[in-house]
Structure 1
Amino acid sequence: MATTLTDGRRRRGEQSRRAVLGEAVNLASVEGLDGVSIGTLAERTGTSKSGVVALFGSKLDLQLATIRAAREIYIASIIEPTLRAPRGIARLWSLCLTWLEYSRGRTFEGGCFFRAAAAEADSKSGPVHDALVAVDEDWIAFVERCVLLAADDLPALRDPKLLAFELIALMDAANSGSLLHGTDRAYELAEAAMHDRLLAAGADPDALRSGRR
């Protein structure tokens, strides 16, 4: 009986934790991680402040847990679908389109969680900054890896790291432009620019037809 009660409390605690983190990632994408407070989340989830504290501890612990939860969503929304595409130009192009759709579809209410968080934390120091840097370094490495795996399909490619940087910059510009202007035009321009950049690197036009709007 005691084990059953303990398991039930654990399940309820985990459900509460997921509910609070679900609100936290969306709130942070709009208000930034500094806007993620125990009081605000308690109000938005109908949980007591003491209940949120019991789940996460300090505000810093809550912010770090929010970053981890957002990373899991990011992996499920972008990394995993991209890896299902065949290696080479098909995977690289899939990555570009998947990222644009992730931002366009507002997986997070405020666009890309990590672009919003980075803009707020880039000039600061501390555990939150370090956690965001680690996520960003993993993301850059993933894009660079996709470019390297597509190198045989890009005979005019000169610098894989530069191409990865350019693609990421176009993603970021599309995300921020769409939020500022409230239209999809930035996504259309980013997709066209990515398409042209891959063609300039030697991609077969037929390999880039899939997914174009």
Structure 2
Amino acid sequence: MTTDGRLVRGERTRAAVLDRALLLTTVAGLDGLSLSQVADALGVSKSGLFAHWRSKEALQLAVIDHARAQWTERIIRPAFDAPRGVRRLCAVHEARLVFYESEALPGGCFFATANFEYHARPGVIRDRLAAQLTDWMTFLTGLAAEAVALGELRPGADPATIAYETEALGVCAVMQAPVLGREVTFRHARRALFERLRELATDPTILKEPS
């Protein structure tokens, strides 16, 4: 079976546009994103982008989905190399901080920025962001619940609270790093979750000291 060259080129163009749009939104905001802005950044015609997205809103939704795919690839998937339970929860937190430290996105975190931007603006954009956040918190809660079920965290530990604390540390770190200093901020974020989980762990020795 021969692959249609136009289809391949179209997918490459789509991926390139979404990569650039994702970078732009972490600096200028999701609402500030436009087909014209992306076209100018890539040096292509605006009309060429209409083949992929017929409106600004369609592009915004595509960027959210693209950011989610990147989050899965860079943060969730690597954590599954760690053993199930509390160590996998730590691995997710660590992968997130490493992603932020890599400066892959100039604005730090797409989802932190977009959620703050749209939390009081009803509509399909907020709904899509809310769905992503809900799924992410469900995922973190599931990891904590698994650690409790395996007996690695005390039976009275509340998975939802642990997930909330983990998320709060991640958001706080990426928001404060540019102001208070990246090294100290990410070090505190690592240490804080380690100390919290060590308090709850039935065997604290399975937790690795953060570097």
TM tier, smaller: over 0.9
RMSD: 1.7
Partner of 1:73: 70
**For residues 174 and 204 of structure 1, what CA distance do their matches in structure 2 show?**
27
Deviant stretches of 4+, over 6 Å: none
Alignment of 1:167 with 2:166, yes or no, is yes
Count of residue correspondences: 209
**For residues 124 and 178 of structure 2, what CA distance do their matches in structure 1 show?**
27
Partner of 2:93: 96
Superposed, which structure 2 residues align to 1:127-166 within 5 Å?
127-151=124-148, 152-155=151-154, 157-166=156-165
Q: TM-score, normalised on structure 1? A: 0.92
Superposed, which structure 2 residues align to 1:34-45 within 5 Å?
34-45=31-42
Q: What is the CA-CA distance between 1:90 and the residue it aligns to? A: 1.5
Using the TM superposition, name which of 103-112 and 159-168 deviates more: 103-112
**For residues 149 and 156 of structure 1, what CA distance do their matches in structure 2 show?**
11
Unaligned runs of 5+ in 2: none
Q: What SS does structure 2 have at the residue aligned with 1:54?
A: coil
Q: What is the CA-CA distance between 1:182 and the residue it aligns to? A: 4.5
Match for residue 14 of structure 1 among 3, 11, 20: 11
Partner of 1:187: 186
Q: What is the CA-CA distance between 1:57 and the residue it aligns to? A: 1.0
**More helix, by proportion:** 1
Give the partner amino acid of 1:173.
C
Alignment of 1:176 with 2:152, yes or no, is no
**For residues 190 and 174 of structure 1, what CA distance do their matches in structure 2 show?**
6
**Distance change >3 Å, CA 174–CA 203, structure 1 → 2:** farther
Q: What is the CA-CA distance between 1:156 and the residue it aligns to? A: 6.2
Q: TM-score, normalised on structure 2? A: 0.93
Q: What SS does structure 1 have at the residue aligned with 2:50?
A: helix
Q: What is the CA-CA distance between 1:107 and the residue it aligns to? A: 2.9
**For residues 20 and 131 of structure 1, what CA distance do their matches in structure 2 show?**
20
Partner of 1:121: 118
Percentage identity across paired residues of the two chains: 37
